[in-house]
Structure 1
Amino acid sequence: MEKIKRKVIGEPLKSSQIKHEKFSIFRGLPILSSDAISSVAYACEEILIVLIPVMGILSYKYLLHVTFAIIALLCILIFSYRQTIDSYPNGGGSYIVSRENLGVMPSLLAGASLTTDYILTVAVSSTAGVAAITSAFPSLLEFRVPLTLLIILIMTIGNLRGIRDSAKIFSIPTYFFLFITLLMIGVGIIKYLIFGYVPTEAVKTQMASTAGDMTLFLFLRAFAAGCTALTGIEAVSDGVANFKAPATKNAKRVLGLLFAIVVIIFGGVSYLSTIYHTSAGGDRTVISQIAGQVFGQNSILFFVMQFATTLILIMAANTAFSDFPLLLSFIARDGFAPRQFAKRGDRLSFSNGIILLAVSASILVIIFKGENHLMLPLYAIGVFISFTLSQSGMVMRWVRTKAPGWRHKAFINGFGATITFITLIVISFVKFQHGAWVVIILIPSVMLVMKRIKRHYTKVARQLSLDNNYFPVFNSNAAKRFIVPVGSLNEAVIKTINYAKCLSDDITAFHASTDEEETARLKEKWDKYEMGIPLVIRTVDYREVVNPLVEFIENGNFRQSKKDMVTVVIPQFNAEKWWGNILHNQTAMFLRTTLLKRRNIAVISVPFIIENDYASGNMEKVMEEYTDKDCFKAKNNCCDKQDETQETNKLNN
């Protein structure tokens, strides 16, 4: 398994190499901006899904109005996050900004919101990528769930290889999508304005059946649906620490480039949807329909566009793989998530966070059967909660610090907080019955789990603290009280007893008798090989050995006080082949699990490796080694006085 891991993930990196695992502008733009860039692949379609059933052919008139409103909100967010980057050069995500300026509960709300958002990002982006594939190859529709899971697996492996390797692997597809999309927008506009292309009749007839009136509520519904185009904007400010020096300048440049790209592509695709009259909600995506009319339905460029769209949607998932583990590491360092998520893996990535993200997203894909339209209503709420908290936190920071120019900076962040909060209310109201209620329940549940984890760590720290003024008194006699559980007498038990003799002279062997014949054979061997330590036998009626051992230890006759330390030394079978362990009962594991829950009981496992001779069936040769009484006697004297004297001399020297 280790060899396979090394081939797939790569060789471990030294901690000192972390400085090389940083993004340049060229690498950072595709990795941290792909989520926002990819949103154009489905944001326009989500707007049309709301408008077309009511407005019919008039939907295209109001599509651009909704698009302009979303771009205006994007502009506000970009200006706000530039200030966040300046203030938090080590990463200023909503969690950190809220923690430092708003308090614990708002920071947990931000952390829970971003956690659900990143998981949904992977699930939505990968399913949307598969939707692009099935638009070009409808025969693959029935395999969309396995295809989505395969994409998530590939993304997971790529990110486990580390920041630099993942950037090399995943940056090219983003630039490829930018090139082919700009080409499609340019050719599409020229084809319509200069060559007078008219949309196909098939598309026109889909729109002619209905024509209603635009209302404020309908506009807000369409605006809420299209706000999925704003997902991923925060990723750059979250990942400032991942940029090469000067990190702040590089991050702000990437944020500016991101703004320009989203405006051009989102605006361009919306305009093409207007002039080419694309439909929405069917088996073919809006991008697919536009590419089919611009490049030709069966042209090479059409299939290239579908391939590029698939790749950029997958890259959107990669944004979550870059930011979520980093966010989780911050939360874990504060004690609100398991500490394992704060540790870097072999390749200097937060591998535990990457694996958690992949597993969680895969579960969502399976639950929703690979249908991204069902998950999108859950998507934007977490995003706008984090937007609102981040901007509000920055307002409090400016008011508190009163840095130069704080008034106009506070106004920018305050205006952003107000707009994003209003948008959050609209999205929550509009999408509540479409599934948004799940997120409204899920986020507080995640916050509750975080608080429980923190409570556990606080309790542990309090009990371990030396401030309790409690120092256990060492008792040399009580501390050397050892017990060896014995089922039968064999080489593993002999090795365990010998090890115990190296540590203490006060050793007791314990046997829980469930079979009279087996116990009789044990007594016979015990006397025959002169083990030299007492054997205590307890008859049990219910064929279990754990509780009788615990009862014997707790018995007042064995130890004078419950504060006396008792060490249980357990023989542990380990096969060289992994499947060999399945063939043995797990008594040692059950004993260890139960005993470690008791105060003043220590557990030592003495491994006994079952070598190839056992596995290959040469049992006669092995048994001959250990059936001689002299052999047992020889092995039973590993810690004689001479050895102890030699060891003492070595230590003194």
Structure 2
Amino acid sequence: MKNLKNYILGKPLKSSDIHHEKFSVFRGLPVLSSDAISSVAYACEEILWVFVPVLGIASFTYLSWVTLSIIGLLAILIFSYRQTIDSYPKGGGSYIVSRENLGEIPSLVAGASLTIDYILTVAVSTTAGVAAITSAFEFLLPYKVEITLFIILIIAIGNLRGISESAKLFSFPTYIFILSSVIMIVFGLIKYFVYGVEPISNPNIPRQVHDLTILLFLKGFSAGCTALTGVEAISDGVANFKEPATKNAKRVLYLLFIIVIVMFSGISYLATIYTAVPTLDRTVISQIASQVFGDNSIMFYIMQFATTLILTMAANTAYSDFPLLLSFIARDGYAPRQFAKRGDRLSYSNGIIFLSVAAGILVGVFKGENHYLLPLYAVGVFISFTLSQSGMVMRWYKTKGKGWKHKAFINGVGAIITFITAIIIAINKFMHGAWLVLVLVPLAIIVMKRVNRHYKRVAAQLSLENNYFPKFSESQAKRFIIPVASLNESVVKTINYAKCLSNDITAFHISVDDAETEKLKMKWKKYSIDIPLVVKKHEYREVVNPLVKYVTSDEFTGGNKDDMITVVIPQFITKKWWGNILHNQTALFLKRILLQHRNIAVISVPFIIEKYED
């Protein structure tokens, strides 16, 4: 099993190798920006889903206005997060910014929102990638859930291999998509404006035109805001960059800004020229590529392949940031401590596994349909945007350093705009599934608070400040009892071990079969076992409760309830992994129950089964 694990995930890395696991600008751009870059593949489509049924052919006239509005919002976010990167060189996601500047509850809201957002990122990205595959190969439509789950598994394995390994694996698809999209945009514009090729008229567009209302515009705007998901990832992952980490992170942020502007505006304009109408069977970007390159051309398939890869690899942004976020939350005591530990390959492997399982469940529940998942998507993102920007405003106000008013103004504008956008998205998408996010965020906060309360109680009871240092005399801690089902070498080894620790040893047997009990007594006498054997008959064939009852009874303790009782359990272990499955593991059940009692200690004495004879 160990060799198989090393083959799949790679050999364990030393802690000192962590500096080799950092991103350069070239590697960091595709890993931390793939979510935002990939969003342009479906953001335009989501706007058209809102406009086309109502506005018909006029939808394409208003598409550009929504696109410009979203690009304007992106510019505000870019300038705001540039300041966050400067202020938090070790990572300044909305959870940390809120924790330091706004307090506990806002930070938990940010943490819960981002948790849900990252899980949705994986589910949405992979299902969108599979939608691109099935647009080109329609015979795969019945298998889209299975394909999506397989892709999630592959990405999880890639990330479990470590940060640098995932960067090597997932950089190529992002650059292929950028290059293919730019070629499509340039060639599509040349084909239309230079060669005068007339687009194929689309019979699916309704000709009846209604007026554009403010409400409809806001619905289209909220739908297109999916293009902004993933912008925070760079400020979250500053610590993952090579030195100078802050400069490298800002360079990636600026490159992301330029790329999204070119691609989002270009694809939206091509959608207008070639009147691409979204359907569940074929994406807008595949319809554009079909008209620009031709259905059976190599470039059409390259574009579909590149779109599939980038949409799939967009999930890698979540895999890069979410385990790190969860480690921060765990260190603060609001998530299980296991999430704060690095795995063999220096990645936060428990967070990666949790993310994969949660996203896989979502894919199964929503049957791999990307269009049904998207309404849940952007609400949590903009909640975290708002909290991050608000936290930065409070930071500037408290510190009042050089140019603080100018900086506070930038973050303040970002906070107001993202807050308004969050409300618009929540209202417009409430009935389409956004209500679920608004329910899940408070539930996640309750869970985090309960986890934190547990850790605080444990810490309070373990603290040396309690001045409670229990001491035991020999008479209080030398009472040993050995549960016995039958007499064998494992039991004899346990008895001999117990004799090294105490002379006060009792063997205890639960009689559920008279014949077996008689065999035990005969063996006990035959091999001259020189410790007393207590036999208790039990009609209901239980083992654990009768043992606990006897150990805590006056018959055994002599009324001294404060005495420590040590239960020594024989436990045999097979070297073959499947061997343990064939046994009932009574020792494990006994330990779990016995350790819930304050004055009972448990010792397991292993007896390893080494040889198997045919």
Instruction: Give me the TM-score of the superposition, normalised by structure 1.
Output: 0.93
What do residues 49-89 of structure 1 show as CA deviations (whole Å, max 9, x unaligned)? 00000111110110000000000000000000000000000
Contact 1:45 1:281 in 2 (8 A): no
Alignment of 1:134-213 (within 5 A): 134-201=134-201, 203=202, 205-213=203-211
Contact 2:55 2:209 in 1 (8 A): yes
Q: 1:550 Cα deviation (Å)?
A: 0.8
Residue in 2 aligned with 1:30? 30
Identity %: 69
1:575 aligns with 2:574: yes
2-structure distance, mates of 1:438, 1:190: 45
Note closer, same or farther for the CA distance 1:367–1:208 as it changes in structure 2 (3 Å cut). closer
Residue of structure 2 aligned with 1:287, choices 278, 285, 289: 285
Alignment of 1:457-496 (within 5 A): 457-496=455-494
What do residues 467-526 of structure 1 show as CA deviations (whole Å, max 9, x unaligned)? 111110221222121111011111110111111112222211111111222112211111
Letter in 2 for 1:252: K
2-structure distance, mates of 1:89, 1:528: 74
Letter in 2 for 1:387: F
Q: 1:561 Cα deviation (Å)?
A: 2.4
Q: 1:208 Cα deviation (Å)?
A: 4.2
Size of the alignment, in residue pairs? Answer: 613
- The SS at the match of 2:603 is strand
Alignment of 1:210-221 (within 5 A): 210-221=208-219
Residue in 2 aligned with 1:444? 442
Residue in 1 aligned with 2:519? 521
- Range 601-610 or range 219-228, more displaced: 601-610
1-structure distance, mates of 2:50, 2:604: 64
2-structure distance, mates of 1:439, 1:261: 30
Residue of structure 2 aligned with 1:274, choices 272, 279, 295: 272
Residue in 1 aligned with 2:260? 262
Residue in 2 aligned with 1:626? none
1:594 aligns with 2:593: yes
Contact 1:335 1:453 in 2 (8 A): yes
2-structure distance, mates of 1:298, 1:515: 76
Residue of structure 2 aligned with 1:412, choices 403, 410, 419: 410
Residue in 1 aligned with 2:372? 374
Say which one has the larger Rg: 1
**RMSD across aligned positions (CA):** 0.9
- The SS at the match of 1:607 is strand
2-structure distance, mates of 1:209, 1:276: 16
Residue in 2 aligned with 1:621? none
Letter in 1 for 2:127: T
What do residues 287-313 of structure 1 show as CA deviations (whole Å, max 9, x unaligned)? 101110111111000000000000100
2-structure distance, mates of 1:289, 1:514: 73
What do residues 284-341 of structure 1 show as CA deviations (whole Å, max 9, x unaligned)? 1111011101111110000000000001001110000000000000000000000000
1:97 aligns with 2:101: no
- The SS at the match of 1:557 is helix
Residue in 1 aligned with 2:20? 20
2-structure distance, mates of 1:506, 1:586: 27
Contact 1:54 1:212 in 2 (8 A): yes
> Which sections of structure 1, spanning at least 5 residues, go unmatched?
618-653
Q: 1:557 Cα deviation (Å)?
A: 3.2
2-structure distance, mates of 1:390, 1:51: 31
Instruction: Give me the TM-score of the superposition, normalised by structure 2.
Output: 0.99
Residue in 2 aligned with 1:58? 58
- The SS at the match of 1:605 is strand
Residue in 1 aligned with 2:419? 421
Residue in 2 aligned with 1:650? none
2-structure distance, mates of 1:256, 1:125: 23
- The SS at the match of 2:508 is strand
Residue in 2 aligned with 1:46? 46
> Which sections of structure 2, spanning at least 5 residues, go unmatched?
none
1-structure distance, mates of 2:204, 2:531: 91
- The SS at the match of 1:403 is coil
Q: 1:386 Cα deviation (Å)?
A: 0.3
1-structure distance, mates of 2:394, 2:560: 57
Residue in 2 aligned with 1:118? 118
Q: 1:209 Cα deviation (Å)?
A: 2.9
Q: 1:588 Cα deviation (Å)?
A: 1.3
2-structure distance, mates of 1:582, 1:34: 43
2-structure distance, mates of 1:56, 1:41: 21
What do residues 11-33 of structure 1 show as CA deviations (whole Å, max 9, x unaligned)? 00000000110000000000000
* Moved >3 Å (runs of 4+): none
- Range 10-19 or range 463-472, more displaced: 463-472
Letter in 2 for 1:583: L
Q: 1:542 Cα deviation (Å)?
A: 1.3
2-structure distance, mates of 1:33, 1:166: 14
Residue in 1 aligned with 2:243? 245
Residue in 1 aligned with 2:73? 73
- Range 447-456 or range 543-552, more displaced: 543-552
Contact 2:53 2:206 in 1 (8 A): no
2-structure distance, mates of 1:488, 1:210: 85
- The SS at the match of 1:150 is helix
1-structure distance, mates of 2:515, 2:555: 28
Letter in 2 for 1:574: I
Q: 1:558 Cα deviation (Å)?
A: 2.1
What do residues 252-301 of structure 1 show as CA deviations (whole Å, max 9, x unaligned)? 00000000000000010001001111001331111101110111111000
1-structure distance, mates of 2:266, 2:478: 79
Residue in 1 aligned with 2:584? 585
